[in-house]
Amino acid sequence: MYRSVAFGHTPFTLPVFVIVDVIPVNHFSIPAVITVSDLSFVIPVLSVAVLLIALYYIWYLRKQITHINRTGKALADARVNMINNISQEVRTPLNAIIGFSEQLHYTTLDSAQREMLLAVENAAGTLSRMQQHFQELAWSQRGELQLDTYPFSLYKIFTGTTERAHVQAKARQLTFEAVYDGDKQLQVAGDGERLGRLISILLDNAIRYTDAGNVRCLLKIDQEFAGEARVQIRVSDTGLGISPERQTMIFEQYLHNTVPQAGSVHGTGIGLALAKALITLHHGEILLESTPGKGSCFICNISYRVVPVPQTVIITQKEVEQLTGQLMKGRYLLVADDQEMNLALMDKILTRWQCRFDKAPDGAVAYELFVNNNYDMVLLDLQMPRMTGLEVVKRIREDKEPQKAHVPVLALTADTTMPGNQEFIDAGFDDYLLKPFREKEIYNVIIRHLRAESAFVKTVH
């Protein structure tokens, strides 16, 4: 409808159209238009129309955001689950490679064979660390990555980690320097294993991206506050350096895969993302200083609670280090695993330790053997046919004989759905060890949980 309106002395004809609603059709909005014959109604009607339009678009936008978020979360969950499944499947064969490689050292080998064995062990070690990084990053993305808390020596963690890095640097003809600035006897409470992993990630990264020059690692302890040690870790190199635009993204996962360059050095793209996740768990901070072409320096700051130096002397320390297994001589163990390669590996280890042992290929056989025998310890895989490890340990704890019900039970598993020690304890296990593991690791866990009458420690008063 058209209406004549006068402004000043110049009349003209004004069409008055008011949009009062929109009709959504296949994600497009079609205005529903009405006309009014009286201009006095235009402003209030137009206000209502605008409000309706705004409300509709707010509703539609929220609907789209919700859809995108759900879709994105589903894709992210699928990616994490895929990583978790692959990581879990890799653990079992990797455990066999690492385990049997170790056992080969106890056989007669010529120099050429030992050289080849060393190459296999180095490759398996690299794959093991890579697998561990993938797994922990997946845990982190699910919010399941947790820190354990136990007393440990900062100096031992530092020296153990830097010794491995020294070998890597030497292979690339780099100068390597490790400096520990602080009390070497200091004990703190925290997760020493993951501190070592953090340092290892930064050192691996520095060595990988340095073609010439040097890599330096400094751990400095500052005890300004009573009962608390502030630890600073600095890993510097004379490598390629990082451009300013990439520095803002350097802690994002899969970064290397997004910018492939011919002849450039590539990695998995998750190391620094995991380092950031570990620092966040420690409530610390990680900083980067880098100049392209001159090198980089990663700086980490973490605080730990200081604990008294333990007054316990391990009588069998030499025996533990030599891995002779003499403390296991005559022990009677039950080992249950549905993977033949794992049973074969445990057969080799326990035989050399001069143990008595029974092997079970599934949970039902394991429980039957437990009922009919008196074991010093039971080692269970979690995922077994006929009866899972969780079901077996539950029945063990319900046994009517108190001594049998309290037998030490350890989980030796590739299952990563229970990432924390507390989850295994709640399920009835005394401890757990994730595959792949080395002989020293399983030996230390076993002797730590043997019954009191076989204790191997003496308290110094």
pTM of the model: 0.59
Tokens 């925290």 found at: 190
Q: Which of 36-40, 244-248, 387-391 has the lowest mean pLDDT?
A: 36-40
What's the CA gap between 180 and 159, in Å, rounded?
8
Architecture of domain 150-307: 2-Layer Sandwich (3.30)
Q: Which residue has the higher pLDDT, 216 or 225?
A: 216
State the burial class of residue 182 (Cβ atoms within 10 Å of its Cβ: 0-12, 13-18, 19+): middle
Residue 257: band (very low, low, confident or very high) from pLDDT cuts 50, 70, 90: very low
Structure tokens at 85: 């499944």
Task: Tell me: pLDDT of 141 over 80.
Answer: no
pLDDT, residue 365, reads 94
Q: Residue 61 belongs to what H/E stretch?
A: helix 42-104
- 132, exposed or middle or buried, with CB in 10 Å at 0-12, 13-18, 19+? middle
Rg (CA), the chain: 32
Between 354 and 13, the higher pLDDT residue: 354
Q: What is the mean pLDDT of the chain?
A: 76
Alpha-helical runs (H) found in 270-401: 271-281, 317-322, 340-352, 363-372, 389-397
Question: Does residue 315 carry a pLDDT above 50?
Answer: no
Domain spans of the chain?
A: 2-72, 150-307, 312-459
Strands 356-360 and 187-190: unpaired
Q: So what's the pLDDT on residue 321?
A: 44
- The yes/no answer on whether domain 312-459 falls in CATH 3.40.50.1260 is no
